[in-house]
Structure 1
């Protein structure tokens, strides 16, 4: 039946190639929202982001480039044990280790923000000078949250334990407890509220280093991205985040994730579409 092959491909991200060995980047979905503290639903994001990606063109006017000749592989979603946080993190870490061992760039789609931690653990082992860039409404620097060390509210604190002091760069932060901001003053490069201007100011400090980027979709104002578990008014526009992402090609990106999209909280699908567009620009930057 004509077009049936297209239907079969809708489980993969836009223009994903079939050859793992020849790929430069590998996409992995993680349907996990076990530690989400407000509204659940991010486990549904990897599938939805792939689905809506078929509404995008493979050509990007932001970068004047196309996905047609880019080599990246969509490995599908990890099979993780429901509710078992530690075992799930082990599985994520093993997947990241395999991708890195094969000389490829891990690109993870969450899922909740905690998935960043096991991926960064492995990336930092390979790249000791690693710098991490976080786009987020929330600091995520608590040491514990409800007495738990492993949470989407503690993830960047755990990341700081994997990388060198002051190698975390945070943009768009507009929410957190006082202790998080005190920690950031000593150990991270935190930029409050604004995204594009401070990112451009820090670009020279990031060039030449291996860089891992984590994008929490709630860095964007909920007017543009309502489909997230912990929406925080006062964020950047979708236009602004895409302008920032278009600058990623100036960096040596060795790992990436996009997290906290919650499709059930956005029937318009505009949050998932924005996430898919960010992912398209990222793939154009690294492949």
Structure 2
């Protein structure tokens, strides 16, 4: 077979050229980008790496996020090289590649967490930035361990989610998708002056949950706050809170209303629209983003790729921010 034609822009190897090859054919990498192993075989490196973390042993309700990385990749086939919303061409500004999936033990949470941390450190050892597609939210803890180690200091955190994820234990288990940010705070990975949940809503177990969360230093912007204040005002609040500190962005797709993301593990009514989420992400341009994740996509509860498409576009805007930052440096 003939070699698959790719877009070459500014010396970077980009996606498959979809004017010559149908988007629905061929390997399903994120946005039809080259695989990292193929770049490395050609003696090239990547500035930004996209890696899958197919793991959902930490869930408390619906399982299935282990299939999220493949679903997001499939839904990303329609993404194109130029992002008019930010006037950026992320795949031309820097070299981006799909690093495939981590091999995570589905029967042992602690071992899987250790593997995520190890692989994240290995993938960023050459100075690359990392975008991880999950997988359940348990993976945020080891990713924050790696980000804090690379930064050499506690990091700021922007957490887009319907839930706090600062609970203590479930059934006596310390490591679940509802506990990563409590563990991260306890381990000293987070800068308590620069933490914020965005999009939270719905009932919690008791008011003490909110008190504990505040004790760790988190600010909260609920989905109702976003509705009444508007996207621009919320973005201003977030930028003021984070400043120029190194920040990690963790995005649970259930921050979106179930109308926009039905395929997720713990849906809550009254969430964000996909438009509101994307506009908020675009408003974070220029922040010192260390890395990011997009998690909790469950294809078995999705239909017409509604959730996968929303997640893929969120990944694309995060990549645009990260590429723009690296190009500016």
Query: What SS does structure 1 have at the residue aligned with 2:220?
Result: strand
Report if the CA contact (8 A) 1:100-1:123 is conserved. no
Please give the alpha-carbon distance, in whole angstroms, between the structure 2 residues aligned to 1:25 and 1:147.
37
Question: What displacement does 1:154 show?
Answer: 0.8
Stretches of structure 1 lacking an aligned partner (at least 5 in a row): none
Report if the CA contact (8 A) 1:10-1:54 is conserved. no
Moved more, 159-168 or 25-34: 159-168
Question: What displacement does 1:42 show?
Answer: 0.7
Please give the alpha-carbon distance, in whole angstroms, between the structure 1 residues aligned to 2:290 and 2:91.
22
CA deviation profile, 1:97-149 (whole Å, cap 9, x unmatched): 11232211121110000000001011112221410110000011111112111
Give the counterpart of 2:191 among 160, 164, 168.
164
TM-score, scaled relative to structure 2:
0.82
Partner of 1:87: 111
| 1:47 and 2:47 correspond | no
Q: How does 1:55-94 map to 2 (within 5 A)?
A: 55-69=78-92, 70-94=94-118
Largest Rg, 1 or 2: 2
Give the counterpart of 2:168 among 124, 143, 156.
143
Query: What SS does structure 2 have at the residue aligned with 1:83?
Result: coil
| 1:183 and 2:212 correspond | yes
Moved more, 107-116 or 19-28: 19-28
Question: What displacement does 1:9 show?
Answer: 5.1
Partner of 1:38: 61
TM-score, scaled relative to structure 1:
0.93
Cα pair distance change 1:177/1:3, threshold 3 Å:
farther
Give the counterpart of 1:204 among 231, 235, 240.
240
Please give the alpha-carbon distance, in whole angstroms, between the structure 1 residues aligned to 2:273 and 2:48.
27
Query: What SS does structure 2 have at the residue aligned with 1:244?
Result: helix
Number of aligned residue pairs: give it.
287
Report if the CA contact (8 A) 2:157-2:194 is conserved. yes
Partner of 1:270: 306
CA deviation profile, 1:222-273 (whole Å, cap 9, x unmatched): 1111110111111111100010111232211011000001111012111100
RMSD across aligned C-alpha pairs, in angstroms? 2.0
Please give the alpha-carbon distance, in whole angstroms, between the structure 2 residues aligned to 1:35 and 1:94.
19
